[in-house]
Homo-oligomer: A and B are copies of this chain.
Amino acid sequence: MHLSELPTPAAVVDHDVLRRNCDTMATRLATQGIALRPHVKTHKCPEIARLQGGQGIAVSTVAEVQGFAAAGFEDQVLAVPLAPARIPEVLALARRLSLAVLVDDGAVAAALARAAAEAGQRLSVWIKVDCGYHRAGVDPEGAEVLALARQLQDDAHLDLAGLLTHAGHSYDCVDRGGITQVAEQEARVTVRCAERLRAADVAVPQVSIGSTPTLSVTVDRTGVTEGRPGNYVFHDLHQAGIQSCELGDIALSVVATVIGRYRSRGTLVLDAGALALSKDPGPSHLGGAQEGGRICRLDGTPVPGLRLTGLSQEHGKVSVDPACPEPGLAVGDRVRILPNHSCLVSALHPQLHVVRRDRVVDRWQPVRGW
């Protein structure tokens, strides 16, 4: 099937760009002597995880654990703090595969220990530390991390796998200089915490870091053992905006059809709305971001003067700048939209259409739900 024959809206993955993104990151981490554990939440497709390579995967939901286990992925880290009610499911899954979890709360660690003891299992547990993002994780310089590490080390049913962090604040950067500073902080803070724990006689086998922006730059990562980038397989306008990638590295796009052309109002309407593009505003801290993404022709060429100005459920409203050349788009014509945030966009689509140049060569079904 030709790209122009896809029913729209359709999420499209450029296989060659995807493959290049996978190879670039794998090489970058290998050069630094860091093991790659890709975070598969971005795509939720076993086919893509196989292209990424690495030593197992990181996942964000129990549904992903199940879906990737069914596809043969036997080494997984559930890299979101665990809701205590999910402990029985996690222990059941950990009997079938190498599944580690993370904790940043002593009460959850205690609940895990009790459940593992009752089930007669051992479970591998990472401590999540906060390297500056301030979302999840314990303070790497406080007393709590040492207490938690000792709690895990002393438990007969839990094994401390190491320290794990995510520099999500790299998304707030404006350029590679800023990303480099966050990347240095991410490695430094986490390695220093590991050294402090080791000085207190806690064995810390691994130090795992990761975000696509920070892993797009090379800094001193002595002591880091593992990287967990996710978004880099697809990249998106946010990554390009903060200089974590080039526009040509964006592997995911949404093909849409022009379903309305309103010359007197200077607008178009596309059949891709909030359910095809998400309402993620993109890198709005940089200015100039637009709802939904950037409109290109099917071959990827940008269309000057077109701007997505409003997304409702199934409509994408586009303003046409009268100062730019007439875009020459009529009802029925197709466009390709580079997304603001590829993780959210890919999660909205029942399938991803894989293209090579302008041919659809495969369809991949992502895992859904929680």
- Contacts A278-B274, A331-B105, A344-B274 known; A7 to B60 CB distance under 8 Å? no
Contact of A135 among B85, B269, B274 (CB under 8 A): B269
- Contacts A83-B332, A264-B142, A269-B81 known; A310 to B135 CB distance under 8 Å? yes
Chain B residue with Cβ nearest A60: B314
Chain B residue with Cβ nearest A63: B350
Surface stretch bound by B, among A151-159, A253-261, A295-303, A356-364 = A253-261
Determine whether A355 belongs to the interface, using a CB cutoff of 8 Å to chain B: no
Determine whether A265 belongs to the interface, using a CB cutoff of 8 Å to chain B: yes
Binary contact track A323-361/B, C-beta < 8 Å → 1, others 0: 000000011100000000001100111100000000000
Are B344 and A279 in contact (CB-based, < 8 A)?
yes
Question: How many Å lie between the Cα of A332 and that of B347 in the bound state?
Answer: 26
Copies in the complex: 2
Are B136 and A271 in contact (CB-based, < 8 A)?
no
Question: How many Å lie between the Cα of A332 and that of B274 in the bound state?
Answer: 32
Are A269 and B85 in contact (CB-based, < 8 A)?
no
Interface centre among A85, A281, A313 (most CB of B within 10 A): A313
Number of A residues with CB within 8 Å of any CB on chain B: 62
Chain B residue with Cβ nearest A89: B7
Determine whether A369 belongs to the interface, using a CB cutoff of 8 Å to chain B: yes
Chain B residue with Cβ nearest A86: B7
Chain B residue with Cβ nearest A269: B136
Determine whether A228 belongs to the interface, using a CB cutoff of 8 Å to chain B: no
Are B82 and A259 in contact (CB-based, < 8 A)?
yes
Are B312 and A135 in contact (CB-based, < 8 A)?
yes
Shortest Cβ distance from residue A101 to the other chain B in the assembled complex, whole angstroms: 11
Inter-chain contacts of A82 with B (CB < 8 A): 259
Binary contact track A240-268/B, C-beta < 8 Å → 1, others 0: 00000000000000000101111011010
Binary contact track A42-77/B, C-beta < 8 Å → 1, others 0: 000000000000000000111000000000000000
Question: How many Å lie between the Cα of A62 and that of B275 in the bound state?
Answer: 14
Inter-chain contacts of A142 with B (CB < 8 A): 264
Binary contact track A1-18/B, C-beta < 8 Å → 1, others 0: 000010111000000000
Shortest Cβ distance from residue A56 to the other chain B in the assembled complex, whole angstroms: 19
Interface residues of A in 4-37 (CB under 8 A from B): 5, 7-9
Are B168 and A312 in contact (CB-based, < 8 A)?
yes
Are A331 and B84 in contact (CB-based, < 8 A)?
yes
Are B269 and A370 in contact (CB-based, < 8 A)?
no
11 extra A-B contacts, CB within 8 A, seeds A9-B370, A279-B280 = A7-B86, A41-B314, A80-B271, A81-B260, A84-B257, A130-B265, A135-B267, A135-B310, A271-B370, A274-B280, A275-B347
Chain A residues close to B by CB (< 8 Å): 5, 7-9, 41, 60-62, 80-86, 104-105, 107-108, 111, 130, 134-136, 139, 142, 168, 257, 259-262, 264-265, 267, 269, 271, 274-276, 278-281, 310, 312-315, 317, 330-332, 343-344, 347-350, 368-370
Q: Can you spell out 29 A-B residue pairs with CB atoms less than 8 angstroms apart? A: A7-B62, A7-B85, A8-B85, A60-B313, A61-B314, A80-B315, A81-B259, A83-B257, A83-B332, A84-B257, A84-B331, A107-B332, A134-B265, A134-B267, A135-B310, A135-B312, A135-B315, A136-B259, A136-B260, A136-B269, A142-B264, A168-B312, A274-B344, A276-B370, A279-B280, A279-B344, A281-B281, A349-B369, A350-B369
